[in-house]
Structure 1
C-alpha cells in the first residue's frame, strides 16, 4: 500500500494552528489532535495521539514547510523532564528576530530587555518590576497596565514562565526560538548541557569549582535515575552520585530536589511545585506567589474547536 506524501486537510489545519499559536504542550496537542480526529475521522487511537503526531503527522508536515524556513520541533523544559513542548520555529535567524509578527516593535523591545536581564543575572531570572523600570529608563513609553498585559501575553504564548521569588524565567520555547541570538550575544553567560549538549541557561553545575560541567535539571533527573537503576527505592538507597566527568560527589540536596520534583511532575503534570535551582554563583529557593498576575501560567485548558467556513452556515 502506497503512503501519500501530499498534505491533507487535517495536516493543513495543524500547520495553521501552529503558525497562529506557536507552541503547544503535550496536553494541548492531545486535545488538538483529538479534535482533528473527530472532525476528519482519523484512525488515531485515544492515548496514542503523541506517537501518531511525532511519527506520522510531524515528519510529513515538516517535509512540506521546511522549504519556507519553518520547522516544528520538540523541546523539553530546562526545569522538568516531563514538560515537553512542540514549537513552530524558523530555520533562518537574523541577528535578532521579532518573536511573532503579531507583536508590536514595543513589545519585542520589552522581550529583548527581559531576555538580557534574565540571562545576565546570576540566578537566570528577572523580576517583572526590574524589566519595567529598565524599559522606562530607556525612554520606552508604556503604562504599567500595558506592561502587565504584555507580560501576561508572554506567559500565555510560552515565551516566559514563573520563576523563583516572584520572578520570571525564559520558557523552553524562547530558548529554542532565540538560540542563535542567545549564543551569539550572551556566550559568556550560557553553557551546553553535558547530557544532551543543548543550550543551557538555568541548571545544575558541578560542585567541584574546577569542573565546568552543567546539566539541565531535566537531564540531571534522567542521569541520577540511571545511577539509581530506576528502582522504586533506589533514590533513598543510593549513597553516591558522581559528576559524569570529574567524579566528585554531587550535592545530595540537588539530587533530592531534582528527583523529587521530576517524580512529582510525572505523577501530576498539571500541578508543578516550585523548585530550588543551583547556579554557578548563587543558590536560591523558589516560592510561589499566586497574587502576582505575571506569575500565573495561562494555558489552553479546553480542547480547540475545529472550524471551517462551512461551520458558519451550519450555525445560521
Structure 2
C-alpha cells in the first residue's frame, strides 16, 4: 500500500521546533533561494517526523510558503519578516530574505561597516540611481572601475544634501574617503551578503536582498515630489519605478519606447504579458505605443548605448551630451 505523503510542513497549531529551526537558518544566512531552502527544510521536516523522511524534491513551493507564513506570524511583532522577490538577473529565481521592517536598512549596516564605509555605500547608491539613471538611459548600476573611484569622498553629494545646508556642511566635514583596497573589501562583502550583484561585465547592481530591504529608502531618497511653488504644471521626478506586472521595483528589465511613459517591466513579467499577443500587435498597456522590446533598464541600457555610438563620437562624450539634454528636459 502506497503511503500518502503530505508535502506540507508540520501542521502543529503551535510554533514548534521545526519553525524555530527554519528561522534559525535565516538568522545564520539572511538570504536564500528556493533551491537553497529545499534541502534545509527537508532536513527540518525529517527531524520533526523521523518516520517520514523527506528528500529535497519532496519540498514544494507551497510547503515553503506555509512555513514562511507561520514564521512571519510569530516574528511580525518583533518587526521582522521573511520576504521574497524574484531575482531580476535570473528572471525566475525566487529569493527569500529576513528583513527588519522598521529600522533604516542602511543603519543596520552599521553592525558590519564603519561610518565611512556606509558613506561609501551611499555614494554607490547615488551613482546607481542618480548619476546612472537618466531619462534616456536607466542603467541603475555602476561599473567596477567607477565603484573604486567613488572610494574618495566627494565635496558634496545627494546624501549630504538631505539634512539642509547646515547639516550638509557638518556632514561633509565628518565623512572621509576610504582606500581602494578597503573599497574592494566592502564591495566583496556586499556581494557575499547578498546586497549587491556583480555581473560578468563588471557592473555592480542591487541584489534581491537589497531591493527588499531598501525599497522604502530608495523611493524616499531618489523620487522627488513636485516643487512646492505656484507652478501647477510641476511634476514629480520618478527615478525608482515598479514593474507593471508584479509591482516590485525594476532595476533590470524593459521600458516603453516612449520616454514620457513610465511603464517598466521585469523581463519575465513582460514575457508573460506579451506572450499571447502577436509581435506586430504588441502595444504598451498605458500609452499604446508600439512595444519594441529592445529598450532596456539596467546594465544592458549602458552596453547597448555604448555599442550604438556612431560617427566617431565616443560613448563618454555622447553620455555627457545626453545628460545635458536631460537637465534641459527637467
TM-score by length of structure 1 reads: 0.70
Of 208, 215, 229 in structure 2, the residue corresponding to residue 179 of structure 1 is 215
Structure 1: 5+ residue stretches without partners: 229-237, 259-274, 286-316
State yes or no: 1:157 paired with 2:193. Answer: yes
CA distance in 2, matches of 1:53, 1:114: 38
Equivalent residues in 2 for 1:77-226, closer than 5 Å: 77-94=87-104, 96-99=106-109, 101-120=111-130, 121-122=132-133, 123-138=139-154, 140=176, 142-163=178-199, 165-187=201-223, 188-226=238-276
CA distance in 2, matches of 1:10, 1:95: 28
Equivalent residues in 2 for 1:1-316, closer than 5 Å: 3-41=11-49, 43=52, 44=54, 46-94=56-104, 96-99=106-109, 101-120=111-130, 121-122=132-133, 123-138=139-154, 140=176, 142-163=178-199, 165-187=201-223, 188-227=238-277, 238-253=279-294, 277-278=300-301, 283=305
User: CA distance change for structure 1 residues 79 and 95 in 2, over 3 Å: closer, same or farther?
Assistant: closer
Deviation at 1:119, TM superposition (A): 1.3
Deviations 1:160-214 (A, max 9, x none): 1124732111112111100111010001321122222222233311112342211
Report what 1:233 is aligned to.
none
- Once superposed, what is the RMSD of the aligned Cα atoms? 3.1
Greater Rg, structure 1 or structure 2?
Answer: 2
Report what 2:169 is aligned to.
none
CA distance in 2, matches of 1:61, 1:168: 32
Instruction: Specify which structure has the bigger relative contact order, considering alpha-carbon pairs within 8 angstroms and separated by 6 or more residues.
Output: 1
Structure 2: 5+ residue stretches without partners: 1-9, 134-138, 155-174, 224-237, 308-330
Q: How many residues align?
A: 256
TM-score by length of structure 2 reads: 0.67
